[in-house]
Amino acid sequence: MSTSITPDTQSLIQELMAAMQSGSLSSGTGSATGAGQSNGTQNSQEEAKLAEVFQELMALLKQGNQEGSISPGSDTASPAISPAAGSSASATPATGSTSSATPASSDTSSLAATAVTSDTSGVSAGDGPNTTTITNTSNHDEKIGQFLNGGSTTQPTAEIDLKPGQTGTLKYENGQGGYDAEADSSGNFQSTASRLEFYADAKGVNNDDVSYIDGRNASIKVSDGNGKSAGDSQSIASDAPSNAVTKDAAGRATVTGWYDGSTQDMKDGGAYMESKLGTGNAYIHPDDDRNATSSNPMTMAQDTSQHYTADFGDA
């Protein structure tokens, strides 16, 4: 910011320059003679005069800076310190804004509106009034993808990345259905993954279930917060028959699902999961929803809740 030079200021500057050019100020080497004492007295007087000039000059400069910090047509002084880089606060009002600076509270609201809020609150993806908030309860990073019916089974419509212990949310619209699944350690979504299946009708009435029919690469447990739940949080892959287990590049296990029971590996994997988990909390076989109520995995059908919490753990 530039400061205009007033006549008083200019006069003081000229006085100061004249005093400096005159050489009247000694280097401070005094003499014991009378002449030395006389020079010392003269120097003291010059120093006092110079100090007075400095004080007046500083007062004028200070007054000029204060006047210059007032924007024309404004009765508010500009802030002395600009916001730090990356701050959402700005001294320049946005177009259409009636405030000269963004209130401090807006920093909090801006952060809350972003996808990532903290290491524990996680991320959010997708759109709609229906939500599934997922916590990574495994010992490795997880990429959870949301797949909508009729779309790709390898490229999710929304996805979240979760570190162990981190939580994130996937959203979907009324009238949409599909499933959430975990990618392998290379970030690829396989058809053999565990599925958290969902469907919301036009009024937001949901049908949620857990399916291991295609395979089990994660344990999934889901709750509606109103007493209904499905799935499990057990880690069972380590004891599965060797022919019914495959591992990805990082050694993460997947138990082979029953699917249509056309291979021995499918039969062994399906039988093993049924022996460990039963059939009441998750789909093991495609026709499990025909079972009696106590062993039917559709315990969360026609659910008026639109907000679910789920855990994705080790297989």
- Look at residue 37 and tell me whether its pLDDT is greater than 50: no
Superfamily of domain 118-313: Thaumatin (2.60.110.10)
pLDDT of residue 117: 35
Q: Model confidence at 142, in pLDDT bands (50, 70, 90)?
A: very high
- The mean pLDDT value for 280-306 works out to 95
Question: What CA–CA distance (Å, rounded) separates 223 from 212?
Answer: 17
233 or 1, which is more confident?
233
The CB-side HSE value for 114 (13 A sphere, CA atoms) comes to 11
232 or 80, which is more confident?
232
Residues of the chain above pLDDT 70, percent: 61
96 or 146, which is more confident?
146
Question: What integer best gives the mean pLDDT of the chain?
Answer: 77
Q: Model confidence at 13, in pLDDT bands (50, 70, 90)?
A: low
Q: Model confidence at 136, in pLDDT bands (50, 70, 90)?
A: very high
- Look at residue 93 and tell me whether its pLDDT is greater than 50: no
DSSP strand pairing (307-313 vs 130-136): parallel
**Domain regions of the chain by residue span:** 7-26+38-68, 118-313
Q: Model confidence at 193, in pLDDT bands (50, 70, 90)?
A: very high
Listed in sequence order, the residues at least 6 apart from 101 whose beta carbon sits closer than 8 Å to its beta carbon are 79, 89, 90, 91, 93
Residue tagged 């209904």 (tokens): 228
139 CB-contact burial (10 Å; exposed 0-12 / middle 13-18 / buried 19+): exposed
Q: Which is nearest to 210 in space by CA: 182, 187, 238, 188?
A: 182
Phi then psi for residue 100, to 5 deg, are -75, -15
DSSP 259-300: TT--SHHHHHHHHHHHHHH-SSSSBSSTTGGGS-GGG-S-TE
Question: What CA–CA distance (Å, rounded) separates 14 from 16?
Answer: 5
